[in-house]
Every structure is written in structure tokens, then in C-alpha cells.
Structure 1
Amino acid sequence: MSLQILAVDDSRTIRDMLKMALTQAGFETSLAEDGMHGLEVLDGMAPDAIITDINMPRMDGFGFIEAVRAQDKHRATPILVLTTESAPELKARARAAGATGWIVKPFDPEKLVRALRTVAGPGGA
């Protein structure tokens, strides 16, 4: 089963690493540069899961998560936060905004793929 993933990160390097890891896992991957761009890309798709950074220009990850959750069709879409941040209060704020999980950079591609399959696939496809 091919999962469709939206990855939002202002770092070109991270976007490239995500694209490579997710494509190798057989996922269809769409990329966005920040929260505002993420909402634009999301408008034309129905992803199985979303990955977002927290610290981004124009709209940060918290604002992006809240904006995604405000849309009926994306209320249940799993959202994984991928960030260098690890402070408990930021994790709590992300969960309050609607995040499903939290992964700290640098990420292990295999663990990320496993996490996506767990949250997005039926029965962890």
C-alpha cells in the first residue's frame, strides 16, 4: 500500500532527506517550505499523514497543525512533528494543537517510516 505523505519543513536539506527516505519506502511524498505553503499544498490532496517542523517562517508548526485541524476533512489525519526541539512544554503544546506524535531530528529514516506506517496504515500496514 502506497501512503501519501505531506512533509512541511523550511530546511531544503531536511526536505530532501525526507523525500529520499519516504520515496524509498514506497510513499508518495509532497513537500512544502513552511506552514503557509503547507496549507496551499494540502488544499489539493488528502494525505494519509503529515510531517511538520515547528520552527518555520510565515507560519510555524503549531499554527499549521491548528489550521489543519480546523478543516473537517483533516481532523483525523495523523500529524507527526519532526523538530530539533525536545522540551516537554513544546511537546504538550503540539499535542494540544492536535499533533499525533513527536520525532526529534536528526531522524532515523527506518524509524520514521515505521512511525508513519503505524499512524497512517490500517493496522500498521
Structure 2
Amino acid sequence: MTIGEVSKKFGLSPDTLRYYERIGLIPRVNRNESGIRDYTEEDCKWIEFVKCMRSAGVQVETLVEYVTLLQQGDETIEARKQILIEQREKLLSRIEEMKKALERLNLKIKEYETKLVPIENRLKR
């Protein structure tokens, strides 16, 4: 797949894909005889992983650390697991904060709805 196709598939700009490759978040992408990036299915799996982690709020620096450890082999399994556990805890905390914000929004909307009903009833008369 070309960078344009991958860009559309994942909703990431070509610049972002190049950046991810440059900093090591995704492995070096092979190029065809014309020098154009030729993404494989394996490359796309990496991009999907990085996009998922970024949407979960994982910092780029943390992902770089994780990928670096991954490339070092099985002796880093415990360290990688620890990174994922820490990120899970941060995500769970963010989810709780978002739930509280959603509850507050729902209450505020309900307040406005109850105030609008009498006004609407008055206008119908």
C-alpha cells in the first residue's frame, strides 16, 4: 500500500506516518524500486496499534520506549508489561473522570429541559 492509501485507511496524515517511522514507532517501511514507501500488512498492524494507544492517551515518548524494549527481545517482557499496566491505570482514571463529566453534563441538560417546559407551555396558550 502507498502512504496515501495507508493515510486514508487510518485517518492519519502522510506527515504523521513519516514522523512515526522517523522516531521508531513503526518499523522502517520498505520502498519499491521507485523509492516510494510500500506498506505491508505487518506495517499496518503497527500503525493500528500506535493509533489505538495514542487515542487511549498514551504519550509518544512512552510508545517509543515500549517499541524500543520490544525490539530488544524477550528479556524485556516484564518491563513492557509494566508499561502497559501503568497506561491501563491512567486510562481507567481518565475514564472515571469522563464519566463524572458526562454525569454533570446530563444533569445540566436535564435542568435546562425542565426550565424549557414551562416556557414552551406558556407560548402555546
| TM-score between the two structures when normalised by the length of structure 1 | 0.31
| TM-score between the two structures when normalised by the length of structure 2 | 0.31
Larger radius of gyration, structure 1 or 2? 2
Instruction: Say which structure is richer in strand.
Output: 1
Instruction: Say which structure is richer in helix.
Output: 2
Q: Which structure has more RCO (C-alpha within 8 Å, separation ≥ 6)?
A: 1
